[in-house]
Structure 1
Amino acid sequence: MGLAVSVGNPCVGYDAEGEEHYRRQFAGLAAALAASGHRWTPPAGPPPSGQARRYVSSFPYSCLHYLRRAYALDAEGQPVTPVVDGNLKDADGFVDDASS
């Protein structure tokens, strides 16, 4: 099992119906983030010619725990810091409390 993450609207330029669907999704996301005090601007379209976005096809399932930790730190108003030596054990209780 893996975790796939994408950025932007994959339909820009070739699927008008799909493009509109993603625009509505991004508008809803922006509204939800604004309601919680976060500012986010949906991507306007594809990057300028010759400037591709970074691409990663997927992440192993184990990366989900790093994402949960980042969410918990942000939800508690703490800075999101790197994990030292891959040690997630120190954050287990904190992450469970913040995400439940």
Structure 2
Amino acid sequence: MKHFLIKYRFKDGSEAAWREQIGRFIAAVEADATLNGRISYRCMRADNGSGEYYHLAATADDEAGKALQSRDFFKAYTEETKRVSGGTVEVLPLAIVAETSARP
């Protein structure tokens, strides 16, 4: 499994509309028979008023990641993420060093 942290500061547009867009993206992933169950995606916002957003994504395997990247809805979402962040998106691949057995 591969994990990624996507981080940026929201800068442009309506945050409510952006959250709806995020929800539509997640719904599209879950509706895709090839991706459902193979892609995990969470979006969080810093609760300090800074406008910082953090997305945690995980792919079950390389093929799932490639399939996601091939989807038009992924390409559109990626472009919109760049737009709302003013082009400041960082995508960091993560490697798990250690973890608990519980996954809430």
Larger radius of gyration: 1
Please indicate, yes or no, whether the TM-score normalized by the shorter chain is above 0.5.
no
Higher RCO, Cα 8 Å, sep 6+: 2
TM-score (norm 1): 0.32
Which has more helix, going by share of residues?
Answer: 1
Normalising by structure 2, we get a TM-score of: 0.31
